[in-house]
Amino acid sequence: MRILVDLTKCQGYAQCAFLAPEVFTIQGDEALTYNPHPDSTQLTRIRRAAAACPVQAIRLDQLDGRDRSLHRDAAPSTAAPVEDSGGTFKKTGRIVIVGASMAGLRAAERLREEGFTGSLTLVGEEPHEPYDRPPLSKQVLAGSAPREDTSLPRHRDISATWRLGVAATGLDLAAKQLHLADGSRIGFDKVLIATGLRARPWPNAAEAALTGVLTLRTREDAATLRQHLARHPRRVLVIGAGFIGCEVASVCRELGLNVTVAEAGPAPLVAALGEVIGAAAGALQVEKGVDLRCGVRVLSLEGNATGQLRRAVLSDGTTLDVDVAVAALGAVRNVEWLADSGLACGVWGVACDAGCRAFDANGLVTDDVFVAGDIARAPQPMYGYQYLAVEHWGNAVSQAEVAAHNMVSPETERWPHLEVPKFWSVQFGTEIKSVGVPSVADEVAVVQGSVDTGRFLAVYGYKGRLVAAVAFNHNKWLDFYEPLIEQAAPFPPSFHHIDEPAHARPVPAGFKPAASPTQDATVVVTGHDPNERRARLTNGAADRTPSRSPTETSPLSKEPSP
Ligand SMILES: Cc1cc2nc3c(=O)[nH]c(=O)nc-3n(C[C@H](O)[C@H](O)[C@H](O)COP(=O)(O)OP(=O)(O)OC[C@H]3O[C@@H](n4cnc5c(N)ncnc54)[C@H](O)[C@@H]3O)c2cc1C
Ligand code: SF4
């Protein structure tokens, strides 16, 4: 049996832990962890827990006990695409989804829920059916769930053709064909791009090849790292204190391992939460025994004669004896396969409108190409129409649903994706949750609880307007702030709060200024006549990794708009 808890909704009420204690556990004050693949003897208890959950966050696989075989396309279609003719597309059209993960699967389910009865193909480079990534840096690393148990539950049968273990290599929009690495082609009427991200490798290839130098993005990565941790290394070095780096460090301490975190910035989570709240995350790490070194870079990694990592040289002048180094340097967007597609894609992702329709390189919106999940860069009307890439689970789900709806809806019935971004993280027994976009803020104020007790809520403001709220073990209040963010409520809030600290004054939030739009120019404009003027992606817009130094990208990255 497979289950999934929508942790963006969960408020830690613990009804589930009370009703099915062998499946759900509350860690620390309010962080829920659960077994994603519990024994079927637990079914009745889980059903009771799902019914009792006040926010209806628990989902059960609807395909349990039914055929869940993944049909391979025996003869990939190369036929000429069918023209969309109004309602007939919904009945007989052809949709291809590229990227078979959270966004891809959710879009497929939603298409069927919307009544799409045409042909649906999911193409995924990984050989697995879609799985959930958040447990990889939590339950799987800690050893409480094997990697196989992370397969995503299904809301419904999607009757799709699955092409797994084969990458898409090109998108021919004129011929409406997707090219695959095995040489086959698939014709489509509409396509959804959901190819997400991959881990940014350690930049020195020889050092990255040492045994013990690892990254974390896939199931295989998690299983390999788990194996290394289970061998009780002398010390683990985590390079980069973004969410994944911090969660890895947290599991290391849970397992009783020595761990050093080297972060080039002034505090952990600084790109996502700013320096002030990042310092609170840093205090947690130090309290739990992490050797946290901020403002420090790893200069080199050294191995022994057999190619096993042995040492790391740091910019603070020290050398560490380490057996494992986890490069948690953020992610690279999987856009290379789109290099010749004519779409607006690059290191920033694939640009699309608020209705998930991709832009071409000229900035013109396309009709039949949609984008969702970590790869998408879309304007956020709530944040001054800034283009943001939101690399979080909740966004992959909600954006996929909007994209799927729009793919089968007439122009006048399309939806904008206006979901307020949310994320959660569990580290060092603390649940960190957020609504809104903290990284656009200039000020922050702790308005409930206190940083000293490790239980607080901070609100973020930009030019006198509320833009985000972040809770450390105080997440029940976030639902209150979400509509205030949507309504652009004044910052600092003028009302009094429960559990208000004596000094709730705003202070500078401590974000680095966003890169200037010209810093990573990737487009040139050519032609003089209005008929001829075209934007052209410069060489490597899609295949070049960013020129920035290797620090973790912000989960709500603020790289320049295309
Ligand atoms: C370890 C880890 C922990 C996380 N924890 C949290 C958390 O606690 N909270 C939170 O909010 N978010 C978390 N996230 C983020 C969350 O998992 C992502 O936002 C989510 O997975 C995005 O889904 P996606 O479908 O857009 O992209 P992805 O999950 O990246 O999937 C993209 C898929 O496309 C495939 N693909 C790539 N290129 C091609 C190609 N050319 N052809 C075919 N297929 C291709 C890839 O192999 C991949 O399977 C975590 C992520 C990781 C890695
Ligand atoms: S909100 Fe629902 S899923 Fe979360 S702890 Fe409570 S009962 Fe469990």
Which residues form ligand 1's pocket by a CB distance below 6 Å?
Answer: 98-104, 123-126, 133-134, 136-137, 167-168, 194-197, 216-217, 244, 334, 337, 373-374, 391-394, 396, 423-425
In tens, the pLDDT along 438-466 reads 999 999 999 999 999 999 999 999 999 99
Please give the pLDDT value at position 410: 92
In tens, the pLDDT along 264-286 reads 999 999 999 999 999 999 999 99
Mean pLDDT of the chain: 89
Please give the pLDDT value at position 73: 42
Confidence band for 521, pLDDT divided at 50, 70 and 90: low
Burial annotation 438-476 (CB, 10 A radius, 16+ → b, else e)? bbbbbbbbbbbbebeebbbbbbbbbeeebbbbbbbbbbe
Which residues, in sequence order, are CB contacts of 291 under 8 Å at separation 6+?
258, 259, 260, 261
pLDDT at 551 over 60: no
Range 381-398 average pLDDT: 93
In tens, the pLDDT along 182-236 reads 999 999 999 999 999 999 999 999 999 999 999 999 999 999 999 999 999 999 9
In tens, the pLDDT along 44-82 reads 999 989 988 988 999 888 776 555 656 554 444 444 444
Which atom of ligand 1 has the smallest separation from the CA of 376? 26
In tens, the pLDDT along 293-302 reads 999 999 999 9
Q: What are the phi and psi torsion angles at 225 (to 5°)?
A: -65, -40
Confidence band for 27, pLDDT divided at 50, 70 and 90: confident
Half-sphere exposure of 444 (CA within 13 A, CB side): 29
Please give the pLDDT value at position 155: 84
pLDDT at 516 over 70: no
Range 36-51 average pLDDT: 90
- Going edge to edge, which strands form the sheet with 365-371? 161-164, 119-124, 94-98, 190-193, 365-371, 357-359
CA of 149 to the centre of ligand 2 (A): 20
> Which of 3, 11, 33, when mutated, tests ligand 2's pocket best, judged by the most ligand atoms within 8 Å of its CB?
11
- Closest ligand to the CA of 96: 1
57 lines ligand 2 (CB under 6 A): yes
Please give the pLDDT value at position 384: 87
Confidence band for 390, pLDDT divided at 50, 70 and 90: very high
Please give the pLDDT value at position 519: 56
Confidence band for 528, pLDDT divided at 50, 70 and 90: confident
Q: Are 29 and 431 in contact (CB under 8 A)?
A: yes
Tell me the one-letter amino acid at 133: R
Which atom of ligand 1 has the smallest separation from the CA of 424? 9
Q: What are the phi and psi torsion angles at 245 (to 5°)?
A: -60, -45
55 lines ligand 2 (CB under 6 A): yes
Please give the pLDDT value at position 499: 85
In tens, the pLDDT along 303-355 reads 999 999 999 999 999 999 999 999 999 999 999 999 999 999 999 899 999 99
Please give the pLDDT value at position 518: 54
Please give the pLDDT value at position 78: 43
> Which residue reads 């002048």 in tokens?
317
Please give the pLDDT value at position 275: 97
Identify the CA nearest to 121 among candidates 174, 184, 196, 59.
184
The mean-pLDDT minimum among 29-43, 160-174, 187-201, 359-373 falls in 29-43
Range 517-534 average pLDDT: 72
Helix axes 102-113, 393-407, angle to 10 degrees: 40
Please give the pLDDT value at position 62: 75
Atom 37 in ligand 1: which residue has the minimum CA distance?
A: 195
Q: Which two tokens stand for residue 150?
A: 């992370």
pLDDT at 386 over 70: yes
Range 108-120 average pLDDT: 96
Please give the pLDDT value at position 560: 33
